[in-house]
Amino acid sequence: MTWKTILKFIWEHPSSSYLIRVGDYIEVKTREKKLSGEITKIMIALDNGDVDGSYPSAVEVDSYDLRLGYSGSAHFGDTFAYFNEIKKVGRD
């Protein structure tokens, strides 16, 4: 799947860009750089101090609606992104 195909899908289905799923391709923008990759794990934080879903109380899920506003992270490659860093979502 090319980024052109992904962006076309997002343009044609704008509301679906709020939903992320394991296997989706994401584009992330951090302060330092832009990253992209396929989501391998999604973690949702359940404790007040847990910003990325790394505490033992966090839960791993197969999908998440970014509009819910929880703290957590999407893992891809050898890194992860906070939910608020995800700028684009695409899927097959």
What is the rounded CA–CA span in Å between residue 36 and residue 9? 16
Q: What is the pTM (predicted TM-score) of this model?
A: 0.79
Q: Give tens-digit pLDDT for 47-60.
A: 999 999 999 999 99
Question: Using 50, 70 and 90 to split pLDDT, how confident is the model at 6?
Answer: low
Q: Give tens-digit pLDDT for 24-79.
A: 999 998 888 899 999 999 999 999 999 999 999 999 999 998 888 899 999 999 99
Are 22 and 62 contacting, i.e. CB atoms less than 8 angstroms apart?
yes
Return all residues near 71 (Cβ < 8 A) that are at least 6 apart.
Answer: 44, 45, 50, 51, 52, 53, 82, 83
